[in-house]
Amino acid sequence: MGYVVEHPVRFHETDGAGVVYFANELVMCHSAYEASLAAAGIDLGAFFRAEAIAYPIAHASIDYRRPLHCGDRVTIHLTPTRLDDCSFEIQYQLKLGDTLAAQAVTRHICISVADRRRCPLPIEMEQWLTRWGDMSAAEESR
């Protein structure tokens, strides 16, 4: 299933060579993550204030396939997958038309802010995973 959002590449995202600075592609992925949360009805202010629960990234990686330039319209395809009761990963594909420009993954762990220990994903995140997630991958991992 997944969530899809378009991102117009802006000049400030590029480097001196005129291509998107490598770290900014992960920023684009995180923006797509935020958009998918909002589209699922999650209050972003409360989510990122993280008063009781937080979702730190435990791993991030990205593979670059072709350069992106100012003015490109990148389509970001995001698919989250539940890993266990306390964690999930998000697969991202950044595309120019049908051409894969980059693919990335982030792994998140749900923790209690009070003691920084792992805790089960709350219902709102379970619903987000169900709405945008790859349920076939989740079933295979069980």
| Overall residue count recorded for the chain in this entry | 142
Tell me the C-alpha distance between 116 and 93, whole Å.
31
Q: Has 115 been annotated as catalytic?
A: no
The H-or-E segment that residue 48 falls in is helix 44-49
Residue 17 tokens read as 């060579």
Q: Which of 15, 43, 84, 85 is catalytic?
A: 15
C-alpha R_g of the chain: 16
- Catalytic residues, by residue number, are 15
